[in-house]
Amino acid sequence: MPTAYITAPPGAAGDLAELLVEERLAACVNRFPCTSVYRWEGDVVRDEEVVLLAKTTDEAWAELVARVEDEHPYDVPCVERFEESDTSKPFEAWRDAEVE
């Protein structure tokens, strides 16, 4: 089952995390502050961001990505998929029950 790695500005991250859980696209979203350094339109940029780790299912993946793209303030939001090859069975059952 996948985990979505999403970065967002601090002012939008909380709302985005809550939206994904409220709409049952993610069972849980963890938030971590970070400093990102990246190239954008030819310049090297340093921004304070928040990393969101959204626990989801294969079935909800496409809708989660579409929802992030619709609600995210960036023109090109970072949404990457991490596959979990080993997940505890109780956690997997809980996550699957919480995502529709």
pLDDT digits (tens, 9 = 90+) for 40-76: 999 999 999 999 999 999 999 999 999 999 999 999 9
Asked whether the beta carbons of 31 and 13 are under 8 A apart, the reply is yes
Partners of 47 in the β-ladder:
36
Q: Which amino acid is at 26?
A: A
pLDDT of residue 4: 96
Please report, for the chain, the start and end positions of each structural domain, with discontinuous segments joined by +: 2-93
Global pTM reads 0.87
In which band, very low, low, confident or very high, does the pLDDT at 1 lie, cut at 50, 70 and 90?
confident
In the chain, what is the straight-line distance between the N-terminal and C-terminal CA atoms, in Å?
14
The answer to whether domain 2-93 has CATH 3.30.360.10 is: no
Asked whether the beta carbons of 57 and 95 are under 8 A apart, the reply is yes
pLDDT of residue 92: 82
Distance from the Cα of residue 89 to its chain's centroid: 22
Partners of 48 in the β-ladder:
35
